[in-house]
Chains A and B, each alone.
Chain A
């Protein structure tokens, strides 16, 4: 990446700096860039600095401010991508945890994982030795049978059978878990008869004390 990039946005000019460079080298680059960009800057003498994935300490920040003030430019604030990234991370934490789970030994032990990128519709049946990940919905009347785990990144409305060769350690995960019937190992559970439960968040099902337990995925920390 270029060490110094100028970008304009609604709030004014943002200077993206590659702070992995030696600060003195960076200072030279800044002076070079700003001299060349005099026309672009015009009367705009206030900037925001974005330090990318580096967080500056106070001494470094002051050093850079001095460099800018020698150019007659005032630094309004210094930001980094780190603050933003933390937000992004918490949003995808779910996914990250899932990746951990997928990479775990237990997950791989059952066999290679099959990834299906479509909706499974009534009458369609998938059997796989290993785990199955479905990027889509499993509709009523469809069956997903895996000797390992079953993860549905979508709504599971049909039948899922995880650990189909008798592994009670298998799990079933769905963004919306509302199966007609859920089987794990040799255990079978079904949806309650008279109440329609509409889940609003991801849930996970597993066997505990010989019972099928369904709980909110994010609670399980």
Chain B
């Protein structure tokens, strides 16, 4: 069943200083099914984050439309949980209050907020840190809070914008494994933006490869390698070769064009 339908999205920005229009996303259409883990893979500045922001409702497309769960996206809402590149927690709230922020906005009593937040704090492995402020935690721990906060809203889809990009290699691997486990357990739909081929192939069951700016979808394929995935296996390398080939074609074409 189609969960997110992206049809003919065009997004251009106006560069006020140079008085020029910049085409960031060029006619992108994409259908994402229920329970998919889609990785949007592309080089920096290709418009993948812009696309994600439009699904989230932070940005409006210049033309085209996006539907989530059959409803056209007009503005941000709690049906779409977003995990940002930086944790983006409220620095004045402790871990428990950050995770339960959505419940506070809905006017739910403090005792119930605490109880419901606890479930997700435990899920992301932050038991014992409920009363800590974000400034007292590491980047990885803060990003876990960000994930718990998105999960608590029980959203139809979770949108993740390179959430592990700022983490060290070891923490990143840990978090990637946990994310897959969480996704398997709660079976939500995830759209995950990344510029890392390895990360995309490790996480996604569908991969959308985007071209350089203006962003277009170069390829969109299923990747059903069984989990846990071994990044050194021939199957993984086979897939990686294919994706890298696509990217190489792409850069050759853009060099010729230039």
Q: Do A and B assemble together?
A: no
Which residues of B approach A to under 8 Å, CB–CB?
A: none
